[in-house]
Amino acid sequence: MRRRCTWNIFQSIEYAGEQDQIKLYNFFGFLMDHFTPASSESKTDLNSSMMQRNLISHIFHKNEICLDTEWERYFCYKSIEVTKSYTGPHLTFPMTFCGVSKLVEAFKHKEQLHARYVLQLLGETWRLLTTFPNISHVIACHTKPITICGDLHGHLEDLLLIFYKNGLPSSDKPYVFNGDFVDRGKNSLEILLILFGFLLVYPNDVHLNRGNHEDHIVNLRYGFTKEVLGKYRVHGKKILKLLQMIFSWLPLATVIDNKVLIVHGGISDTTDLDKIARVDRQKYASALRPPKMKVHGCMTKMNENREREACGQVEGRRRVCSLTYHSSAPDHRHDLPRRSLHNTPVCSKLDLSVDEKLNRRLSGFDQARCELKKSDSYLESKTTETDLDEWKQIVDVLWSDPMPQNGCIPNEVRGGGCYWGPDVTEEVLRRNNLQLLIRSHECKQDGYEFCHNRRVITIFSASNYYEVGSNRGAFIRMGPDLVPHFIQYQASTTCRELTLRQSVGWTERSALQALREQLFVHRSDLISAFQEFDPNNKGMISVTNWASTTERVLNLGLPWRVLRPQLVSSTQHGMMDYQQWIKELSITEPKLEISDNSILDTMYKNHSNLETIFRIIDTDHSGLISFKEFHQTWELLRSHLKTEISAKAIADLAQSIDFNKDGSIDINEFLEAFRLVDISAHN
């Protein structure tokens, strides 16, 4: 298995996770937009229904405390005391270069900034960002070339290495950081605080573009929410709310000398920089759903306070609607294995058979009936064509990827944005009198990559992104000639000490480990699919059928016949023992007494979805949920997956992982208890 195959494994698993994130979010959106309790429900059922709806609804609403006076009251840092026992860095405001430099040194030595200073720094950042345009304009000159960095994803060591090689940001050393500062890595918050600190000191020389991970819904799944709450247990919730506002105010693009466009994801055939410049960007706290327009009824607090003049716009999220595709059914997990935000159906009216199916699945709606919002007595909503156009502009900028073929199609691999070809690049650059597009969003083995006749550059600054040795990081230096100069690096000392063969071997083993885990969690589906080719139940199938069936079940787009020698230990005359193969995957499971093993299969396959729902239901961010909330989590997952999980199985699971028998479940302990371990990786 060579490097390209290894790379495909990592990337396919990553993008499959992004698809699951969007499918889960669309499911919640479908519940919010299309269902309301019927008047015939009992009081108990009605209360249960409304509780479920409320649990889901709060994820779609941007923080509604945005007036300066309310901000001062809610996010006020002045009442937070810095005790004498605090040994971390102290900040003074307004920020200075010396102050931010000390902050960098403190984070280098793994010190933690006091919550008072965090809130104060974030508050100042928010106020500054509200004065910025959607598109930042930068001028390059001989005396101060511009440095452009791609995704950092919480890799503080990469940011520190960039500063070591290139120098700290200053009026003589301008930087553009192209989004995706957070998630996946362990030091996302430290990266944000450093970048925001330099932004406050040099607002004309430090430029931050928004990435698709600067989104509070995405953060629920990919680690940033968990990181903040773990580091700031008392004030973490306020920090997250403030960051949610900050993310929505980050600029969407940067232009150098009116010739070089820098965006996080990319473009599409409908990208219009004039429209992007006019978008009310703070409406999009999450870019996964367009904003909602209220037609009847009352407005939210935010609407009353800030946008009474703006035709009643509110900060809710309507279910993703395609500009070109329409359907009358909600997303079914296995109907279309690859879906895009732009290709997600919207319902003007719902097919009754689908309605009946969902009604049977919905938690709190069992034994009850649901109906679509048809009556004028309910608050109706619509999304205007202008809203959808603005939303699509933002989604394309944050989520899109280039492709070698001409044209522009929905990005069905990630589930959001589009794939655009070289013809689209040429047209958008020509129309805007540009000569180069710089984007990030995709990990590249060398840290950067040219495409589209060298008119598009992908820059990625998080080295060792998938695994130690998997990729280099890079950044760009660009002077007034607008010629990009690339500086590559590898942040890990361990990786720098390995030979090329050792590094490739290490990465291959990690990729295979991740792939074996995917095979293991889908073992029940794989066995059922293999049995279609084993009518006599001999436990044997051909290698050809093994490869095609494995792809059909996992849908990862991998060359399974090429991978077969790495995954299957033995074959005879083109046949393999698939039951023995499943046993040889060398994965250990938790030792828990559970009455229904199917719930374990569901747990393994939907580990990330479960964590996302846990984080949503844990509204007080305590890290603990009650048995009742635990049951609600599984009911939501059951509805999402269209599967049956018995109440007894859920109760048994809750009892088995209530380790201290206090009637509550620690989310992190629960998820760790079900972490799969590849035995071969430890041998």
| CB neighbour class for 472 (10 Å; exposed up to 12, middle 13-18, buried from 19) | buried
Q: What one-character DSSP code corresponds to residue 556?
A: -
**Active-site annotation holds for 213:** yes
pLDDT above 80 for 173 = yes
pLDDT at 134: 98
pLDDT at 678: 44
Q: Highest mean pLDDT: which of 131-135, 560-564, 651-655? A: 131-135
pLDDT at 6: 81
Cα gap 342→409, rounded to integer Å: 10
Q: String of b and e for 93-115 (b: at least 16 CB within 10 Å)?
A: eebeeebbbebbebbeeeebbbb
**Residues 425-432, mean pLDDT to the nearest whole number:** 98
pLDDT above 50 for 188 = yes
Angle between helices 500-521 and 598-605 (to 10 degrees): 140
pLDDT range class, residue 627, cuts 50, 70, 90: confident
**Residues 365-373, mean pLDDT to the nearest whole number:** 32
pLDDT range class, residue 381, cuts 50, 70, 90: very low
pLDDT at 55: 54
Q: Which two tokens stand for residue 114?
A: 């006091």
Q: Which of helix, strand or coil describes residue 103?
A: helix
**Residues 269-276, mean pLDDT to the nearest whole number:** 97
Distant-in-sequence, close-in-space partners of 78: CB < 8 Å, separation ≥ 6: none
Cα gap 553→193, rounded to integer Å: 43
Cα gap 489→462, rounded to integer Å: 10
**Which tens digits make up the pLDDT trace of 313-365?**
333 322 233 322 233 333 333 333 333 444 444 333 333 333 333 333 333 33
Task: Name the residue with higher pLDDT: 176 or 62.
Answer: 176
Q: Residue 94: is the preceding peptide bond cis (ω within 30°)?
A: yes
∠ CA 575-576-581, nearest 5°, is 170
**Residues 19-29, mean pLDDT to the nearest whole number:** 68
Are 640 and 24 within 8 A, CB to CB?
yes
Q: HEC states along 222-273?
A: HCHHHHHHHHCCCCHHHHHHHHHHHHHHCCCEEEECCCEEECCCCCCCCCCH
Cα gap 183→212, rounded to integer Å: 11
**Residues 200-207, mean pLDDT to the nearest whole number:** 98
Task: Of 151-165, 179-193, 483-497, give the lowest mean pLDDT range.
Answer: 483-497
Which run of H or E residues covers position 53?
Answer: helix 43-57
Distant-in-sequence, close-in-space partners of 421: CB < 8 Å, separation ≥ 6: 402, 403, 404, 405, 406, 407, 408, 452
Q: What one-character DSSP code corresponds to residue 597?
A: T
Task: Name the residue with higher pLDDT: 635 or 323.
Answer: 635
Are 181 and 209 within 8 A, CB to CB?
no
Sign of CA dihedral 194, 196, 201, 205: positive
Q: Which of 300, 284, 89 is nearest to 190 (CA)?
A: 89
**Residues 511-523, mean pLDDT to the nearest whole number:** 85
Distant-in-sequence, close-in-space partners of 269: CB < 8 Å, separation ≥ 6: 408, 420, 424, 427, 428
Q: What one-character DSSP code corresponds to residue 60?
A: G
pLDDT at 416: 85
Length of the chain: 683
Catalytic residue among 153, 155, 213, 640: 213
Task: Of 191-205, 342-356, 530-544, 657-671, give the lowest mean pLDDT range.
Answer: 342-356
Side chain identity, residue 557: G
pLDDT at 301: 38
**Which tens digits make up the pLDDT trace of 52-105?**
555 555 555 544 444 555 666 667 888 899 999 999 999 999 999 999 999 999
pLDDT range class, residue 622, cuts 50, 70, 90: confident
pLDDT range class, residue 108, cuts 50, 70, 90: very high
pLDDT above 50 for 214 = yes
Query: Which residue has tokens 């699919």?
Result: 529
**Which tens digits make up the pLDDT trace of 573-597?**
899 999 889 888 755 555 555 555 5
Q: String of b and e for 237-275 (b: at least 16 CB within 10 Å)?
A: bbbbbbbbbbbbbbbbbbbbbeebbbbbbbbbeebebeb
* Helix, strand and coil percent figures for the chain, each rounded to 5: 45, 15, 40
pLDDT at 324: 26
Sign of CA dihedral 626, 627, 628, 632: positive
pLDDT at 510: 83
- Widest CA span in the chain: 77
pLDDT at 497: 60
Sign of CA dihedral 212, 214, 218, 223: positive
Q: What one-character DSSP code corresponds to residue 657?
A: T
Task: Of 159-163, 287-291, 369-373, 409-413, give the lowest mean pLDDT range.
Answer: 369-373
> What does pLDDT average to over the chain?
78
pLDDT at 648: 77
Are 440 and 209 within 8 A, CB to CB?
no
Q: Which of helix, strand or coil describes residue 300?
A: coil
Cite the DSSP H helix spans in 590-666: 598-605, 607-617, 627-641, 647-656
DSSP per residue over 146-215, as a string? EEEE-B-TT-HHHHHHHHHHH---BTTB-EEE-S--SSSSS-HHHHHHHHHHHHHH-TTTEEE---TTSS
Cα gap 35→29, rounded to integer Å: 10
The C-alpha R_g of the chain, in whole angstroms, comes to: 25
What count of other Cβ atoms lies within 10 Å of the Cβ of residue 513? 18
pLDDT at 511: 84
Q: Which of helix, strand or coil describes residue 652?
A: helix
Percent of the chain with pLDDT over 70: 68
pLDDT above 90 for 503 = no
Q: Which of 546, 554, 551 is nearest to 577 (CA)?
A: 546
Task: Of 48-62, 370-384, 649-663, give the lowest mean pLDDT range.
Answer: 370-384
Percent of the chain with pLDDT over 90: 45
